[in-house]
Amino acid sequence: MYRWLLAVVAVMTATAIAGELKFSPFFGAFRISLGSAVFYFMLLLFRPKYLPVVGVLVGAFVSLFRMTLDWGMGVTETWAQSYTAHMPSAWYYIAFALLLQFVRYPRFLSSPLMLGLLGGAIDFTSNLVELAARMLLEGREIDPIANSSLLFLLGLLRSFFVVGIYNIFEIRQLRAVSREQQKRMETLLLILSELHEERLYLQKMMKHVEQITAGSYKLYRSLAGDGRAREALRLAEEVHEVKKDAQRIVAGLSKLIKQERVTKRMTLQDVAQLVAKANTKYAEHLGKSVDIEFRVQGNRVTNRFYSLLSVMNNIVANAIEAIRDEGRITIDIFPRGEDIWIEISDDGPGIVQADRELIFQPGYTTKYDHAGNASTGIGLTYVKSTLDELAGSVEVTESRWGGALFRIVIPISSLTAGIGKVTEVTGP
């Protein structure tokens, strides 16, 4: 109710003020003003409930406002004269609101042409109602038919002007909502790609846990009759519990990823754009100025975009961390034969020849934080294992700027498995 009152007060105030921008082409105090256009626009914008009540309140307020102005400026000598001149205006707004309610105007909000024609017809009819009220109050004959064509034309012009402005507002709002939804989708995709990555880590860990469980049980069997057998069995049972917990976590992550999947496929162009946008923000977070460019040939679609996002994010994030203060990174994606090539280049310090094979080994790292603690060294290990699952490969060379170049090669069939026929890409 409070919001409704605020909306009605806004409509009353704006309509009354805009109504003073006017001209009176005929019929004495009868005026053509901007107030009716503002009234229609604000009804479309706020869509208040109880339209007949709104019409009565706005009509009464506008008439009282004009009578007060006449009295304050000495335009009329008595309140009766002012009442006769301005009270019929109230019937315009009452009739306008009643007719909008009657035709249930929200049905036409998605059709600007129908809304414009409807508004013009209602405006014309409301003007006739006002003229009839003037005939009764002023006690003189008025011939509205002689000027009906002008009234109808003015009504149409005002209505289509209002509908045009209203649609501009709506389009801007829809664009703002679309941009916000796009940001949310991108954030969700990145989160899901990270969850996908963690799930793969857990699945790999479970394989090791199974091996440890089997080894512990084998040790227990070999120690039969030995006092240490009970300890070996307890160890096997505890490792088995760890395995069960890991299975529950993997099941939960799998269910979450399946439920929250916002799309089933993405183009490589969209994947590259998402990686560039996310890592540009990451660079800004680190206080670095890194220009990330991407070039994608063709419009290949993939349903393995979670894996691609994780792989590319790992490599690009490493490049950003290696760059000191400012630099550049390029992502080139193009087809070559039956494969898709992804080349990620940077102008950082590069990777020396001796380290290019070691960087994919678990635990190997050259990164340390400010306290001197080493990084986990599993990012590129994950990249390698994920590419193995995609039947792909990765190699490291020197970029044209002297930094690192990661060249990823993945069979097209691996990226499009299970999604049927897709659009072919052209060669480089």
- pLDDT digits over 362-403, tens only? 655 555 445 444 344 467 887 888 899 899 999 999 999 999
- What one-character-per-residue DSSP string does 140-190 give? S---GGGGHHHHHHHHHHHHHHHHHHHHHHHHHHHHHHHHHHHHHHHHHHH
Topology classification of domain 2-142: Arp2/3 complex 21 kDa subunit ARPC3 (1.10.1760)
Taking the C-alpha atoms of residue 40 and residue 32, their distance in angstroms, rounded to an integer, is 14
Among 136-145, 229-238, 333-342, the minimum mean pLDDT is found in 136-145
Among 153-167, 200-214, 315-329, the minimum mean pLDDT is found in 200-214
What's the token pair of residue 18?
């805009």
Most confident of 7-21, 252-266, 288-302: 288-302
| 224 vs 415, residue with greater confidence | 415
Taking the C-alpha atoms of residue 407 and residue 351, their distance in angstroms, rounded to an integer, is 14
Q: Does the pLDDT value for residue 204 go beyond 80?
A: no
Taking the C-alpha atoms of residue 366 and residue 374, their distance in angstroms, rounded to an integer, is 8
| 163 vs 201, residue with greater confidence | 163
Write the single-letter amino acid at 321. E
Topology classification of domain 266-415: Heat Shock Protein 90 (3.30.565)
Cα-based angle 379, 250, 383 (whole degrees, multiple of 5):
20
Q: Could you identify the residue written with the tokens 């019937």?
A: 91
Confidence bin at 230 (pLDDT 50/70/90):
confident
Q: What is the pLDDT of residue 248?
A: 75
The tens digit of pLDDT for each residue in 156-199 reads: 888 999 999 998 888 888 888 777 777 777 777 767 666 666 66
Q: What is the pLDDT of residue 72?
A: 78
Q: What is the pTM of this model?
A: 0.51
Distance spanning both ends of the chain, measured CA to CA? 63
Q: Residue count of the chain, please give it.
A: 428
Taking the C-alpha atoms of residue 253 and residue 195, their distance in angstroms, rounded to an integer, is 7
Taking the C-alpha atoms of residue 125 and residue 211, their distance in angstroms, rounded to an integer, is 85
Q: Could you identify the residue written with the tokens 């993939």?
A: 302
Q: Could you identify the residue written with the tokens 């790999």?
A: 204
Q: Does the pLDDT value for residue 238 go beyond 80?
A: no
Distances (CA, A) of 125 to 22, 113, 151, 299: 19, 18, 9, 55
Taking the C-alpha atoms of residue 308 and residue 344, their distance in angstroms, rounded to an integer, is 13
Taking the C-alpha atoms of residue 355 and residue 366, their distance in angstroms, rounded to an integer, is 10
The tens digit of pLDDT for each residue in 110-158 reads: 899 999 999 999 999 998 888 888 888 876 666 666 667 778 888 888 8
The tens digit of pLDDT for each residue in 58-95 reads: 999 999 998 888 887 877 667 788 888 888 889 999 99
What is the phi-psi region of residue 224: left when phi exceeds 0, alpha when psi lies from -120 to 50, beta otherwise? Answer: beta
Confidence bin at 427 (pLDDT 50/70/90):
very low
Count of C-beta atoms within a 10 Å radius of residue 189: 22
What's the rounded mean pLDDT across residues 310-335?
A: 93
Check: CB of residue 346 under 8 Å from CB of residue 329: yes
What's the token pair of residue 379?
């990012």
Q: What is the pLDDT of residue 374?
A: 38
Q: What is the pLDDT of residue 423?
A: 44
Question: If DSSP codes are grouped into helix, strand and coil, which group holds residue 289?
Answer: strand
Confidence bin at 265 (pLDDT 50/70/90):
confident
Mean pLDDT for the chain overall: 81
What's the rounded mean pLDDT across residues 346-370?
A: 75
Residue 346: partners with Cβ closer than 8 Å, 6 or more residues away: 319, 322, 323, 327, 328, 329, 330, 399, 401, 403, 404, 405
Confidence bin at 328 (pLDDT 50/70/90):
very high
What's the rounded mean pLDDT across residues 282-302?
A: 92
